[in-house]
Amino acid sequence: MSEGASVPRSGRDRLTFGLIGDPVAHSLSPAMHRAAFRELALEAEYVPIRVAADAPGFVADAMRGLASSGGGMGGGNVTLPHKSAAARTLDVRSEAVGRTGACNCFWQDEEGRLCGDNTDVEGILRVLESTRGLDPGGASILVLGAGGAAAATVVAALQAGAANISVRNRDRRRAEELVGRFPLGQVRLFEAGSPDADFDVVIQATSLGMNPEDPLPYTFSGQAPAHALDLVYRPGGTRWMAHARGHGADVEDGTRVLLEQGVLSLERWLGKPVPAAVRTAMQSVLDGVSD
């Protein structure tokens, strides 16, 4: 079940945080959070924990093991495909978990309850609001995907005050389920043939692009939306980013979202804002990854 380290067994163990998912080996989260702990002079570890997609039962064990480490001060993050299983495991859910049905960040409170948030929502919102030339309030937004990242994107777009949000997914039934989570008319299914350039921004929230041989999640034939955000990140950028750039979009990968959700996760675990130097240390790990 575990890759790189085992889950702590008792509250007397070393303070440990971790990333639960599959795959996890590619993730920059361990390096990013270790840099933060060094800057904070916090004696803690951050470990990748691979829990196979067909063994979601281990997610709860891993979450409780991490959260109870260091005398109950530990916690962690969850990535695909386990964010929904993590949300179901929680004793206390934030509003963002309730709205997305997905949890990417967890910890234990003083009463020993497992608490969770979805810091992807605020992370994506921060990135949208700070993208040069984009005003997400009133924008027309196309979301590719219907999993946890797409749900977080839709909630972030709603919080930003987007005028139109369309969802497109390979499995149309899953897209319908995501659209159906929100009050009628707030979010709609993408209509094939809609001109791409009518959208102000397209957000790529499928898992495609982590491997260079992955097919493109969506292709443009004419002018792309003015902005394209790919939540996936890999050295040199994804093939889809190059495709979107070739069709006229300003492109960005997922490293800024990774940083923002990471800073917010750290603040949940510590229960207070982190100093600017910590953010800088985390940022320095990510520098050079995007193109």
Residues between 171 and 230 that touch ligand NDP (CB under 6 A): 171, 174, 205-208, 210, 217
Nearer to ligand NDP, 100 or 108 (CB): 100
Nearer to ligand NDP, 150 or 249 (CB): 150
Active site residues: 83
DSSP H stretches of helix in the chain: 29-40, 57-67, 69-72, 83-89, 95-100, 119-129, 148-160, 172-180, 239-246, 255-270, 276-286
232 binds ligand NDP (CB under 6 A): yes
**Angle ∠(24,30,32) on CA atoms, nearest 5:** 130
Nearer to ligand NDP, 15 or 150 (CB): 150
Region binding ligand NDP by CB under 6 A among candidate stretches 5-13, 30-38, 132-140, 167-175: 167-175
Number of residues this chain uses to bind ligand NDP (CB under 6 A) = 28
Smallest separation (angstroms) from ligand NDP to the CB of 219: 12
Find all residues with CB under 8 Å of 230, minimum gap 6, and list them.
Answer: 204, 209, 237, 238, 240, 241, 244, 251, 252, 253, 254
- 66 neighbors 16 (Cβ within 8 angstroms): yes
Residues between 246 and 285 that touch ligand NDP (CB under 6 A): 254, 257-258, 261
Cα of 132 vs its chain's centroid, Å: 21
148 binds ligand NDP (CB under 6 A): yes
Strands, DSSP E only, in 94-252? Answer: 105-108, 114-117, 140-144, 164-168, 188-189, 201-204, 227-230, 250-252
120 binds ligand NDP (CB under 6 A): yes
> Using the rule CB under 6 A, which residue among 147, 224, 229, 269 binds ligand NDP?
147
Rounded (10°) CA dihedral 178, 253, 216, 177: 0
Q: Which residue is nearest to ligand NDP (CB)?
A: 147
Distance between CA atoms of residues 67 and 87, nearest Å = 15
231 binds ligand NDP (CB under 6 A): yes
Residues between 127 and 146 that touch ligand NDP (CB under 6 A): 145-146
Smallest separation (angstroms) from ligand NDP to the CB of 43: 26
Smallest separation (angstroms) from ligand NDP to the CB of 196: 18
Burial 117-142 (b: 16+ CB within 10 A, else e): bbbbbbbbbbbbeebeebebeebbbb
Smallest separation (angstroms) from ligand NDP to the CB of 145: 4
Residues that bind ligand NDP (CB under 6 A): 79-81, 83, 120, 145-150, 169-171, 174, 205-208, 210, 217, 231-233, 254, 257-258, 261
